[in-house]
Amino acid sequence: MLRRSALRIFGSAPAFVRALSGSAAGRPNLLWILAEDLGPQLASYSYPLVRTPNLDRLAAGGVRFANCHTTGPVCSASRSAFNVGLYQTSTGTHNHRSHRKDGYHLPDGARLLSHRLQDAGYFTANVLQFAPGVRGMGKTDFNFALDAPPFQGTHWNQRATGQPFFAQVNFQATHKGPAMQEARRQPDLIDPAKVELPPYWPDHPVVRDEFTTYLNCVNLLDRQVGVLLDTLKKDGVLDNTLIFFMGDNGRCLIRGKQWCYDAGTHVPMIASGPGVPKPGSVRQDCVLSLDITASLLSAAGVPIPELFHGQPLFDTRSKPRPYVATARDRCDETRDRIRAVRDARYSYIRNFMPERPYTQPNAYISKEYPTLGVMKELYAQGRLNAAQSLFMADRKPEIEFYDVKKDPNEIHNLASDPTHQKLVRQYSAHLDQWIRDTKDRGGETESAEAKAL
């Protein structure tokens, strides 16, 4: 847990915050752009074939974070964490789409970021329509109940004259659903034959089509972000707005969303605007989605709460994280518990329920992931290679350990490799310490009332 005093916050914050009085007037506007189910498949992250000029320009004028992870690989758990600043496993909000009907509230000391900023004088908005034909989805997806609305409005223009705003814009372009059809109607579609598939998928037309459609959705997302930035500029607020862009969890594809592999939690993150140092730079240190929460509070001059797991990204006194932790619990009707710790080099994954296979029944995945149907068919025919067969195994290994520099697709499990035993023990100890420090509640039995399938 991190503790910051108001003096420390103002002493280490950008100059435009330090010069302010206690009033919110004159402070920067804050904008958090969230893309659903998006991994770092952007041109600024050197991903081939995609065309993301608007996000690339945002990165060129700001800071790009090469190793950002969300705390969980599924939307409701991840959002229940980064909108609060605490791990979902600490607040009891870790099971996907839970507590929708039982009136569950956050524990004492935990509050929404938007409520804290509202108390500091900010107008808060979850933006819907902002330009003809382009809108945010207004998504919250919290695994807890609230006694007050999370946001005050649906557009930054609803604020009082001179009042700064905090806005979220939630884009659905990279999520499974209607946007996929819109993406297929774009000009200059990506050629499926040119797409490089990860080695854990078979080379099959259906697989190529699913992955290529996702990449076309990334291009669609970029166009929507461009319209948003143009609208901010037209409204005269772009230059005084601190912008963060991030995916809420990894890509919605097999071995991505719902899994603690890199493809499930590694997301793009870009910061741009007032107070962001060294425009055009790239940060290689491991950071968390919760660090955006802390950074927005810091930029607004709001002291970081005593109970908090994020740390301000541009506070010179924030120490680089030695590792980040991620967690997966029940997703839809599928019960599981997985924890992982990783840094820029190694990934350690502990499967608490190894007897449950990767492919245990899940209606959402069966319906929305056509690649899984192909893999099941080819596996039954004995036509998957060793890497592709990993996901089809009858059970999971208890421990997985990967050198993500040499093996970015995480297919060579080094957990039993004699030359890596010291490292495996070291990362295991990191996870044990994190479980204790954050009071991980994943081992608690979920009540029937908490589930909302």
Per-residue pLDDT of the chain in tens (453 residues, 90 and over written 9): 433 333 333 334 444 344 333 456 679 999 999 999 999 999 999 999 999 999 999 999 999 999 999 999 999 999 999 999 999 999 999 999 999 999 999 999 999 999 999 999 999 999 999 999 999 999 999 999 999 999 999 999 999 999 999 999 999 999 999 888 999 998 889 999 999 999 999 999 999 999 999 999 999 999 999 999 999 999 999 999 999 999 999 999 999 999 999 999 999 999 999 999 999 999 999 999 999 999 999 999 999 999 999 999 999 999 999 999 999 999 999 999 999 999 999 999 999 999 999 999 999 999 999 999 999 999 999 999 999 999 999 999 999 999 999 999 999 999 999 999 999 999 999 999 999 999 999 999 999 889 865
Q: Which of 313, 328, 324, 345 is nearest to 423 (CA)?
A: 345
Rounded Cα gap, residues 290 and 306, in angstroms: 14
Residue appearing with tokens 């807890």: 144
Q: Is the C-alpha dihedral spanning 149, 150, 154, 157 positive or negative?
A: positive
How far, in Å, CA of 372 to CA of 352, rounded?
23
- What's residue 70's pLDDT? 98
Residues 309 and 398: their CA atoms lie apart, in Å, by 27
Q: 411, 415, 433: which is closest to 423 by C-alpha?
A: 415
Taking phi first (over 0 means left), then psi (-120 to 50 degrees means alpha), and beta for anything else, what does residue 258 get? left
Assigned token pair, 274:
């007032």
Instruction: Indicate yes or no: pTM above 0.75.
Output: yes
Distances (CA, A) of 49 to 57, 58, 188, 375, 397: 17, 19, 11, 25, 35
| Domains delineated in the chain | 6-322 (3.40.720.10), 338-437 (3.30.1120)
pLDDT at 5: 33
For residues 221 and 173, is the Cβ–Cβ distance under 8 A? yes
Alpha-helical (H) ranges within 267-415 are: 289-299, 363-368, 370-380, 386-389
Judge whether 72 and 88 are in contact, CB under 8 Å: yes
pLDDT in tens, 124-169: 999 999 999 999 999 999 999 999 999 999 999 999 999 999 999 9
Interatomic CA distance for residues 321 and 294, integer angstroms: 14
DSSP state of 390: G
d(CA 2, CA 448): 34
32/244 Cα distance (integer angstroms): 5
Q: For 427, how many CA atoms within 13 A lie in the half-sphere containing its CB?
A: 26
> What is the predicted pLDDT for the residue at 16?
38
